[in-house]
């Protein structure tokens, strides 16, 4: 008995961004070229063979070129091959049209701009050489005939086509430039926020290039390593103990081919003191084309964590005996501890808020950005005192009074922010806006 298996149709992979953009412009410009060739054929009485060739190369070819870019293993390289084929075809049509002046100028302008925009000067020169090759090929097959003059209709169509093509390209480049300016602005803001988090967090935060070299290291590295050990351009693996370096290189290799976070534990060599056992979280960052741009690594000292957890449990037990409401955040604003008095005041139990941002319960209130405002204040004055609105667990909004101060380590890095909270004196219940 013959067994039949159901066929499985796999979707085609997405084409590279350059191929997608060029598909639109290629289809439109080649279709317009077909219109110009048709007008020239009517003007000069060209035969059926030329009409068939025009349909195949100017109407069908753009879709085949895009299909080639989609099914190719390297879509970007395939699209560059398409640009070379475009140039050869335009060179052949220049010879086929007997070097008609306006159509030839339009074809040369289009392939020159396309190649220059997509690949720069080298691609521009390659486009011109490919166009010349196409002209030579057609001339060798059918001979060279020179008839540069064109009628009014063909000249007008070419003039309008050139004007439209240049204007469209200019508008496209303007939009790309505007998007680039906006992206740079967002990146500058994101970089500032990233540096702020990194410099106020207790972990070791680094940004590596795709080769594993340092681009940035948070100030917390100074607690463990000599400054030149994590200088820009140095190899991150050099910080790892020799016994774990192969594992570290394998970890980076996995991140190079991954799109998700990976984690490992490594022994690292501090400038002095005991060997450092670190838990490393690696996060690969790709651009919109899928190319790896950088690797963000966050490492935590497991030795210090074990000691800190013991100290933290002792502190939590002591804080629970205080009458004042206490809330403690880490350097990045995540809540680490609240005591019983805070629970009685707001209704929130530790399981409701620990691990969340200190602003998480203030959505829609006037103090929604309170933590950022307080950080800016205590960075200069060391202590902040004032009132703010808080939404309790039962939904009631109350006015609270707080004193906030920061705790620094020996290197001046903010490791904790401590809040002592009271109900504001004679404060009525606040109605949310």
What is the model's pLDDT at position 409?
A: 66
Residue 401: pLDDT band with limits 50, 70, 90: confident
Q: What is the pLDDT of residues 359-382, one digit of tens each?
A: 665 544 555 566 677 777 777 667
Residue 85: predicted pLDDT: 93
Least confident of 180-184, 263-267, 346-350: 180-184
The closest of 105, 226, 113, 88 to 168, measured between CA atoms, is 113
The stretch 320-326 carries a mean pLDDT of 83
Tell me the mean pLDDT in the region 18-31.
Answer: 90
* pLDDT(353) > 80: yes
**Residue 433 in this model has a pLDDT that exceeds 70:** no
Q: Give the Cα separation of 362 and 432 in Å (integer).
A: 11
Look at residue 118 in the predicted model and tell me its pLDDT.
87
Share of the chain above pLDDT 90, in %: 25
| pLDDT grade for 216, boundaries at 50, 70 and 90 | confident
| Digit-coded pLDDT (tens) for 96-149 | 899 999 999 999 999 999 899 888 889 999 999 999 999 999 988 878 889 999
Quote the CA–CA distance of 137 and 131 in Å, as a whole number.
10
Under the banding of pLDDT at 50, 70 and 90, the label for residue 430 is very low
The answer on pLDDT for 427 being more than 50 is no
What average pLDDT does this structure show over 2-14? Answer: 54
List the Cα angle 326/327/330 in 5-degree steps. Answer: 140
Other CB atoms within 10 Å distance of the CB of residue 283 = 15
Note the pLDDT of residue 351. Answer: 84
pLDDT of residue 212: 92
Q: State the pLDDT confidence band at 5, using cuts at 50, 70 and 90.
A: very low
Average pLDDT score, the chain: 81
- Predicted local confidence at residue 214, as pLDDT: 93
The closest alpha carbon to 267, from 289, 252, 247, belongs to: 247
62: pLDDT strictly greater than 90: yes
Q: What is the mean pLDDT of residues 74-78?
A: 89
């Amino acid at each position: 008995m013959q067994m039949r298996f159901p066929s499985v149709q796999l979707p085609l992979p997405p084409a590279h961004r350059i191929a997608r953009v060029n598909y639109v412009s290629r289809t439109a410009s080649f279709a317009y070229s077909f219109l110009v060739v048709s007008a020239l054929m009517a003007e000069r009485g060209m035969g059926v063979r030329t009409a068939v060739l025009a349909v195949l190369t100017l109407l069908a070819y753009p879709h085949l070129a895009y299909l080639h870019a989609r099914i190719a293993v390297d879509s970007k390289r395939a699209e560059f091959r398409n640009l070379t084929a475009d140039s050869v075809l335009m060179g052949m049509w220049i010879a086929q049209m007997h070097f008609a002046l306006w159509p030839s100028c339009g074809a040369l302008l289009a392939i020159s701009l396309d190649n220059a925009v997509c690949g720069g000067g080298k691609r521009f020169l390659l486009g011109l050489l490919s166009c010349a090759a196409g002209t030579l090929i057609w001339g060798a097959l059918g001979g060279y005939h020179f008839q540069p003059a064109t009628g009014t209709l063909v000249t007008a169509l070419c003039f309008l086509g050139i004007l439209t093509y240049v204007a469209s390209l200019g508008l496209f480049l303007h939009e790309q430039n505007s998007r680039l300016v906006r992206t740079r602005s967002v990146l500058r803001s994101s970089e500032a926020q990233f540096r702020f988090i990194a410099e106020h967090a207790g972990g070791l935060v680094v940004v590596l290039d795709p080769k594993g070299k340092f681009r940035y290291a948070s100030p917390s590295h100074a607690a463990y390593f000599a400054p030149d050990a994590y200088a820009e351009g140095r190899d991150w693996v050099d910080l790892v103990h020799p016994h774990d370096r192969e594992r570290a290189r394998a970890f980076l290799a996995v991140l190079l081919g991954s799109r998700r976070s990976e984690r490992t534990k490594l022994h690292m060599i501090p400038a002095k003191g005991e060997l450092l056992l670190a838990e490393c979280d690696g996060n690969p960052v790709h651009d919109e084309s899928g190319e790896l741009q950088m690797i963000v690594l966050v490492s935590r000292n497991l030795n210090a964590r074990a000691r800190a957890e013991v100290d933290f449990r002792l502190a939590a037990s002591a804080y629970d005996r205080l009458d004042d409401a206490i809330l403690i955040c880490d350097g990045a604003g995540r809540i680490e501890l609240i005591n019983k008095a805070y629970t009685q005041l707001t209704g929130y139990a530790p399981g409701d808020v620990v691990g969340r941002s200190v602003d998480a319960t203030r959505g829609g209130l006037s103090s929604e950005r309170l933590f950022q405002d307080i950080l800016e204040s205590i960075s200069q004055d060391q202590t902040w005192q004032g009132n703010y609105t808080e939404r309790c667990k039962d939904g009631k909004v109350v006015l609270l009074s707080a004193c906030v101060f920061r705790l620094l380590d020996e290197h001046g890095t903010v490791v904790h922010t401590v809040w002592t909270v009271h109900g504001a004196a004679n404060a009525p219940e606040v109605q949310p806006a």
